[in-house]
Structure 1
Amino acid sequence: MELENRCIREPIAIIVAPNGARKTKHDHASLPMTKDELVAEAIACQTAGAAMIHLHARDANGRHSLDIDDNMAIYYAVKEAVGQNMMVQLTTEAVGLYSPPQQMALVKAVKPEAASFALRELIPDRASEKEGYAFFHWVAENNIVSQIILYDATDIERYFQLRDAGVLPKTYQHALVVLGRYHQAQQSSPWDLRGLNLARFVEEEIRCAICAFGAREQDCLASAMLLGFDVRVGFENNHVDVAGELAISNAAQVEALRDVAHRFAIPLHSAQSLRSALK
């Protein structure tokens, strides 16, 4: 008689966030900032096991940019380099410089296959829900995956309220829960996972990723992987390895998580299978 295999796990995705909005080469000499550097980083991280890359465009002076031309150039250069082998996601992070109309205009102009949005930036209050409804349903209708960024338990509760109310669509959706953004010195811990209503994502079959600020990023993400969540790793949130030393590269950080997945027999999504899972 064959025993039921209770160790079969669902595939998870590794996402890489190689640069972020604020860091420079003063933080890490290998932090990618230019178009050519981001293309090379995307190829290296895809080879290492990442199914998606989260891009922050920079302007000619190296500053975070939501300028349409800056983003168009970087998005299509990376997309041409990786083809269908990696999902390419643009950020809409405001960093205090951009407004919701500018964030929305960027996505409507570039039409990337995926984009990330902080819930508290795009739908900050009840008054913004009508415009948020129109925009996010347009995003889904255009087959763009919207990744909704959630920073705490209040954001998570509000995400489900907006989803239940129909303000957020139930297709082409991905959630990202951020650990440690508002902790002292932005240092997260795997224990942070316990204080969040993450079980509801599983119960409602909503794909959710976890990212984590600080030196224990890999600890947090390994824990999240074992719970069945997608994970986002990279210099945007942390640029040291598990030993506390300066990480070799973003690709090395991806490889470390890939090794954890292999050790625990956790299947990894390819870009193609992740696209299907996010529809």
Structure 2
Amino acid sequence: MNQPIAIIVAPNGARLDKQTQPAVPISPQEIANEVQACTAAGAAMVHLHARDSVGLHSLEVVDNQHVIEAVRQQDGEVIIQLTTEAVGRYQPEQQRHLIETLKPEAASVALRELMPDASYQDSFGQFCTWALQQRIFLQFILYSEQDIQHYLALRSDGTIPANGHHLLLVLGRSKEGLQPQPQQLEQIQPWIKQFGDIRWAVCAFGLQELPCLLAAAKLGGDVRIGFENNIYQQDGELALSNASQIVTLQDQLAKADIAVLTNCQMRELIACSWS
């Protein structure tokens, strides 16, 4: 059997609306209901995007607190990962403030957003060290080979601690219309080997999402699935829900003899990563 992997679900993202995908969860209760269905289908972690009162992406503390509370009332076991995505509205100080205030179990950060230039390196490094001390499982989002090189350099010089974090490799980009392909993983596999013991995951945009996730899982990577990256079934029709996407993924993983981690097993691996 292949190495067990974790399923992370990203149910709504920052920009998706109900005009584009009627099933996208927007309100705290809708998000909570969807998360519960996704964990029942096998997701160990949820990548949360809060929305404000008019449905826009929000990094405001109160909006995120409402979503966390709603999810916890529905599902007390799922690992909650808060996003810090800027969407052109938030600065690094505001992104850090959200995590420093709410201290979630996990958080995702894009290197190019929290450290847009070298002048932010010290504050970024202090934030990473603080997160490790607080046992907040940071996930660094890497969009390109350049980002991977940058991450490795920051880890080498101690800006990013050597342990206690996770990585997300993004295949394709929705804005640029770049369609991902499973073969991209072959191109970056030499870089992946340099991650060492650090766990990594893949997300992929559009209809090639499932083949890309399967290719990542066969290499031992975790996978992130959901409407944030892809709102379609393999036949091109709108997906019924995030949970239905996970069910399809689970079927393919089972055929490939790849086991899926529970949230408890994922927590154990996270705890081991602190040492």
Name whichever structure is richer in strand by fraction: 2
In the aligned structure 2, how far is the partner of 1:124 from the partner of 1:184? 20
Question: What residue in structure 1 maps to residue 267 of structure 2?
Answer: 275
Question: What residue in structure 2 maps to residue 262 of structure 1?
Answer: 254
In the aligned structure 2, how far is the partner of 1:20 from the partner of 1:240? 15
Larger CA deviation: 33-42 vs 122-131: 122-131
> Does the 8 Å contact 2:12/2:26 carry over to 1?
yes
In the aligned structure 2, how far is the partner of 1:214 from the partner of 1:63? 22
1:160-185 CA-partner distances (Å, limit 9, x unpaired): 11111111112320000000016842
Question: What residue in structure 2 maps to residue 119 of structure 1?
Answer: 111
Question: What residue in structure 2 maps to residue 107 of structure 1?
Answer: 99
Equivalent of 2:30 in 37, 45, 49: 37
**Kindly, what percent of the aligned residue pairs are identical?**
44
1:139 aligns with 2:131: yes
Letter in 1 for 2:177: A
Question: What residue in structure 2 maps to residue 15 of structure 1?
Answer: 8
- Backbone CA RMSD of aligned residues: 1.5
Equivalent of 2:166 in 166, 174, 183: 174
In the aligned structure 2, how far is the partner of 1:268 from the partner of 1:174? 17
1:237 aligns with 2:229: yes
SS in 1 for 2:177: helix
Equivalent of 1:78 in 71, 76, 82: 71
Question: What residue in structure 2 maps to residue 53 of structure 1?
Answer: 46
In the aligned structure 2, how far is the partner of 1:205 from the partner of 1:172? 10
In the aligned structure 2, how far is the partner of 1:80 from the partner of 1:142? 24
> Does the 8 Å contact 1:186/1:214 carry over to 2?
no
Structure 1 residues 148, 201: closer, same or farther in 2, change over 3 A? Answer: farther
- Residue 259 of structure 1: CA displacement? 1.1
> Does the 8 Å contact 1:152/1:196 carry over to 2?
no
> Does the 8 Å contact 1:113/1:143 carry over to 2?
yes
SS in 2 for 1:256: helix
SS in 1 for 2:73: helix
- Residue 11 of structure 1: CA displacement? 1.1
TM-score, normalization: structure 1? 0.93
Question: What residue in structure 2 maps to residue 5 of structure 1?
Answer: none
Runs of 4+ in structure 1 deviating by more than 6 angstroms, as ranges, are none
In the aligned structure 1, how far is the partner of 2:131 from the partner of 2:171? 26
Equivalent of 1:28 in 21, 33, 38: 21
> Does the 8 Å contact 2:148/2:191 carry over to 1?
no
Letter in 2 for 1:122: L
TM-score, normalization: structure 2? 0.94
Equivalent of 1:148 in 133, 140, 147: 140
SS in 1 for 2:67: helix
Unaligned runs of 5+ in 2: none
Kindly tell me the number of residue pairs found equivalent between the two proteins.
271
1:72-122 CA-partner distances (Å, limit 9, x unpaired): 1111221232112x1111100000000000000000111110010001111
Letter in 2 for 1:264: A
